[in-house]
Structure 1
């Protein structure tokens, strides 16, 4: 029933979708070496191993059963093992026809579909898929699956600029994390989702309190104020993301020195060989935060961008390449290099943007700053007022404040 290599491929896909290392999944019940051989297809699984691993993953052992080529389980196995031809369409159809399939299997299907949609830049479709993922997660007995679905949906709402929809979803994820004993990765996800939303809404004292608790839990290894147990030795990647989250809140509170210290600590904890994409994201985020600080950090930003440029090209991820171009343009404008700033804007316009809402607004700000520099003040000021109102209506308090502040400065300079 549990034939290799299909069993190993599906086991690996389930583990990765939950953000677990082999050691974390193996726990104390089996050895990491044995789990590695199972995933590679080198060992057939015993019934005891299947039951144990299914329990650790929060799924039914039947998830690992073989299916015909058109069934949901077979399509999930195909996609998880590298098959991508018409994958999204096939998976969407299988999910539509899945009926009373195991809820954990359908959860896995929606998770994979959302991943495919993210890679294709289909943000609105991904949001709709994640809403279905949340609904299916509530059919399972797994708080981890319920939390992960909500974390992804809250993050997607934020990227689309819908902070007011993100807030209740992030609150639900946080409630799940505090009401259950979960692993440190899931707990940190829930905290960070809520901190990000609170920060966007301008609720900085609440965000700071949660960020401090999360640091104590993950970085310092202490218990949180709400009774959440300490993490022990949290993975370096999680510690880096927690420090990055704290730096974001501190930056918006105007505490640039503390924020810089957190960013330095975050970047020290993670090598590019550990996780190239996270290493890249962290440095792009650091560059973005330095540009938002009250202190003049443009030279530091330019050095960071020079450091990550080879990785941006190597990774081949459109979203990060566009974020790099935006940051390069903003830094160049601040440095007085209007030609390079203009080139960055033209590159972004030429390829079609896949930036999130926040970066789309920042690009609009940059373009209109360039218009003012070129002497077209009247059009730029009108555009910026519209942009500030757009940011305000979407509850991006700090972003709206940044635009109004620039408008005030531009008016005073007349």
Structure 2
């Protein structure tokens, strides 16, 4: 037991030194990670929740311009009262985030921001604001997350250090997509991509391009998405971090599906499954598996779907938002439908219909109605199928996904002209 306590103290001391050195160089956690480690992973290292191994110490020492010995064993000067106050505030917010108490984290961050503003601690204001945006995002308060993250991107500190702006813009883009505003998401993603194009960080450029391509696909800008994905695929070997390469392979694979290159898409998704690292970002690891399973089922492929959904569930039940869990259940429902188990598929769909996430998200409602339409089709109920298609089309339209909405309107029209005799 005593040995464990000593080890914890050593780990906490190294984490504190890492934080102090990072803050002294005015680096964000994302910037320090350099595309190899996520901001949340750096946070775990700084708070002692994950150990600083020799390999990790060597990497961060190089990023910080110090010797590995200084980071491992160096004696740091006592922090000023101002630095101590900022550190304590961030610890409280990060602890709430780590415990998935997202509303508490957002509230604590807002209070800490006001105190930092009174102290004139500009760097603390920025870092706490980004933490607040992350907490709002994880709490499914997407519109607020967009507003706060966009403010971080336009903060004077971010204007001085473009990598900070990129970090904030990528979060704003993801939040806008989740809020059902793909046009705003694309605007933030394109700003991030333009800013990253001048930075000597291949990982950052690849991540920005991946988010931008996803937005282009949602808006139906297929030709532009294909062109951008071809460009990203051509430079994948230059991306040093496996995790970021995995995210890029995921996105390129999605675009290949649009072009009908199914075999290549599946191969790229297999690479993504291998490369995306749960130690770096468990949420992304789980969301990829949910998405990969959904793609397979939509193509009529059941191979590996159960395993992917099981892996996705193991992650998203820990770190996922309500929207993630709803999507997971809908993916399972589609798999059940494909296998002919319409009873269980309908149970899952109707369970999701009562969830708050579906009530407030046009996209989730539309996805659910598509499943209802497919269940009705399996039962031979053309009237209900048409009605569900109509509701799905309206949901996609409200979510700003016009190409998908048009597809459902066409299906609805074909059902009506097919002689169902019922106005849906």
Q: Distance in 2 between matches of 1:272 and 1:166?
A: 25
What are the within-5 Å matches in structure 2 for residues 7-406 of structure 1? 8=18, 16-18=29-31, 19-20=33-34, 21=37, 22=56, 24-27=59-62, 29-32=65-68, 34-35=70-71, 37=72, 43-45=74-76, 65-67=80-82, 72=86, 74-80=88-94, 86-96=104-114, 98=117, 101-136=120-155, 140-178=159-197, 180-217=198-235, 219-221=236-238, 231=239, 234-270=240-276, 276-293=282-299, 296-313=300-317, 318-353=322-357, 358-371=363-376, 373=378, 377-378=382-383, 380-392=385-397, 394-404=399-409, 406=411
Give yes or no for the alignment of 1:407 onto 2:409: no
Q: Distance in 1 between matches of 2:112 and 2:160?
A: 23
CA contact (8 A) 1:9 1:77 kept: no
Q: Distance in 2 between matches of 1:91 and 1:138?
A: 18
Uncovered stretches (5+) of structure 1, i.e. residues with no partner:
48-63, 222-230
Q: Distance in 1 between matches of 2:19 and 2:289?
A: 32
Q: Distance in 2 between matches of 1:68 and 1:138?
A: 17
Identify if the C-alpha distance between structure 1 residues 210 and 104 changes in structure 2 by more than 3 Å, giving closer, same or farther.
farther
Q: Distance in 1 between matches of 2:215 and 2:341?
A: 34
Q: Distance in 2 between matches of 1:284 and 1:342?
A: 19
Q: Distance in 2 between matches of 1:172 and 1:273?
A: 29
Q: Distance in 2 between matches of 1:138 and 1:357?
A: 36
Identify if the C-alpha distance between structure 1 residues 216 and 101 changes in structure 2 by more than 3 Å, giving closer, same or farther.
farther
| Structure 1 partner of 2:43 | none
Q: Distance in 1 between matches of 2:258 and 2:267?
A: 15
Cα deviation, residue 76, structure 1: 1.8
CA contact (8 A) 1:150 1:170 kept: yes
Cα deviation, residue 376, structure 1: 5.9
Q: Distance in 1 between matches of 2:307 and 2:96?
A: 37
Cα deviation, residue 134, structure 1: 2.1
Cα deviation, residue 111, structure 1: 1.0
Identify if the C-alpha distance between structure 1 residues 273 and 363 changes in structure 2 by more than 3 Å, giving closer, same or farther.
same
CA contact (8 A) 1:110 1:129 kept: yes
* DSSP-derived class of the 1:353 partner: helix
Cα deviation, residue 170, structure 1: 1.7
Q: Distance in 1 between matches of 2:96 and 2:19?
A: 10
Cα deviation, residue 45, structure 1: 3.0
Cα RMSD for the two superposed structures: 3.5
Cα deviation, residue 198, structure 1: 1.3
CA contact (8 A) 1:204 1:253 kept: no
Q: Distance in 2 between matches of 1:372 and 1:244?
A: 31
Give TM-score, length-normalised by structure 2. Answer: 0.75
Identify if the C-alpha distance between structure 1 residues 369 and 9 changes in structure 2 by more than 3 Å, giving closer, same or farther.
same
* DSSP-derived class of the 1:298 partner: coil
Uncovered stretches (5+) of structure 2, i.e. residues with no partner:
1-11, 38-55
Identify if the C-alpha distance between structure 1 residues 190 and 315 changes in structure 2 by more than 3 Å, giving closer, same or farther.
closer
Q: How many residues align?
A: 375
